[in-house]
Amino acid sequence: MNCRHCNTKLLFSFIDLNSAPPSNSFLSKKNMNKAEKWYPLHVMVCSSCWLVQTEDFVQAKEMFSPEYAYFSSFSSSFLLHVKQYVEEMISRFSLDDRSTVLEVAANDGYLLQYVKEKGIPCYGIEPTKSTANAAQERGIEIIEEFFGGLLADKLVKNNRKADLTIANNVLAHVPNINDFVGGFTKILKKNGVATFENPHLLNLVEQKQFDTIYHEHFSYLSVTSVIEIFKTNGLTLFDVEEITIHGGSLRYFAQRSDTGKRLVTNNVRYLQEKENKAGMSNIDFYRGFQSEAENIKINFLAFLIDQKLKGKIVAAYGAAAKGNTMLNFCGVNQDLIKFVVDKNPSKQGKFLPGSRIPIKDEKYIKEVKPDYVVILPWNLKNEIASQLSYIREWNGKFVITTPAMEFL
């Protein structure tokens, strides 16, 4: 396979997580007697542009089906994060009722609801019907298509250019990253700003966050690789911010290379230097990640087997993609984790892909009183531990697996 950005032949393996079903392909009861589609989950490093990327075995349209079940609004901490973002962008870029805001991958309207509240014209692009419907119920205009150059051309012809475009946690989700980024160059007004948020590859490696790797994430990004991708496709990175969301992310600010006038901030140079010092432009930086993941796997399995032998009950919280990567890489199923609970009603009553662990309503925890609750979305551990603090009434404990086994 060649690099999805620069077409260099990929020779170096970053991590091989064997195989798994797509992480959001939850099973209904009627499908439990059917075979699941498992695909290799192998990630490579490009030694030219340093884009880390999955090998292509599964198509985006298969993963982001009409039944796609990830709804952003079910995380209170994420809602607070995007509400603050909207307020900051309005202030920084002087957005008002004469502006246009576009969000690509608008999900259930979790972010655009706050733009709409401020009286700023906005619309979203969201290809998955379930989340698009939820956004439309909030009164938000949604275009139900995948974003890229062709859709951008169509929108430009219809005078839908934007002063601010938003793409949170979506740059990693697109197989044709050049066509996707090039679409923003087309849709932006002359002095428009495009913001992107994505987990930082540096944190992924240093914090051993291998469970953030799954088929829906085609790319794993650094400032080094993003600068190259933007430059090739007509954008210039002029600012970048480190943010804590999703275990350590970056917020990129870009403008059109041909018409943008904003000066490049010191933040960009600082993060370039930080990545250079870490060695991210050297293949040695990426070696050893496989063994780090395998150590976490061994420790997690040892804990689960030990509790099984002691007759203890272990449950989990969060039917999240990263949890499915962890469980399937470790080969865990219902014999070691009895059930998982999730706030999202569209997931309750279904089963996790691969492991086939049943997904329950939160009240089930109070009925069963497990000895341990594994918090699979560890990036929300404080929020979840507070929400489920009542497990301490029966001496229940929380378990975190990444970057190391931790008990709360």
Residue pLDDT, tens place only, 270-315? 999 999 999 999 999 999 999 999 999 999 999 999 999 999 999 9
pLDDT band at 61 (very low <50, low <70, confident <90, very high): low
Q: In this structure, how many other beta carbons lie within 10 angstroms of the beta carbon of residue 189?
A: 15
The full set of domain ranges for the chain reads: 72-260, 289-407
How far apart, in whole angstroms, are the C-alpha atoms of residue 162 and residue 150? Answer: 16
Domain 72-260 classification at class level? alpha beta
- Location of structure tokens 């969000």: 103
Provide the pLDDT for residue 72.
59
Instruction: Inform me whether the pLDDT recorded for 92 exceeds 70.
Output: yes
Domain 289-407 falls in which CATH fold? Answer: Rossmann fold (3.40.50)
Confidence check: pLDDT of 57 > 80: no
Write down the pTM of the prediction.
Answer: 0.91
What is the Cα–Cα distance from 397 to 408, expressed in whole angstroms?
6
pLDDT band at 58 (very low <50, low <70, confident <90, very high): low
3-state secondary structure of 15: strand
Distances (CA, A) of 258 to 88, 130, 179, 254, 404: 26, 38, 18, 12, 46
Structure-token match 């240093």, residue found: 206
Residue corresponding to tokens 């089906």: 65
**What digits encode the pLDDT tens for the residues 166-207?**
999 999 999 999 999 999 999 999 999 999 999 999 999 999
pLDDT of residue 70 exceeding 60, the answer is no
Decide if pLDDT at 65 tops 60: no
pLDDT of residue 372: 98
Question: What is the C-alpha separation between 211 and 193, in angstroms, rounded?
Answer: 32
* Contact (Cβ atoms closer than 8 angstroms) between residue 234 and residue 185: yes
Using CA atoms, how far apart are residues 197 and 216, in angstroms rounded to an integer? 16
pLDDT at residue 74 tops 90: no
pLDDT, tens digit, 9 for 90 and up, residues 219-244: 999 999 999 999 999 999 999 999 98
Q: What is the pLDDT of residue 248?
A: 83
Tell me which H or E stretch contains 168: strand 162-168
Label residue 246 by pLDDT band (50, 70, 90): confident
**Closest by Cα among 31, 32, 52 to 42:** 52
Q: Where are the alpha helices (DSSP H) in 192-288?
A: 201-206, 223-232, 266-278
Q: Residues 340, 235: contact at Cβ < 8 Å?
A: no
Domains 72-260 and 289-407 share a fold: yes
Are 152 and 197 in contact by the 8 Å Cβ rule? The answer is no
- Flag whether pLDDT at 67 surpasses 80: no
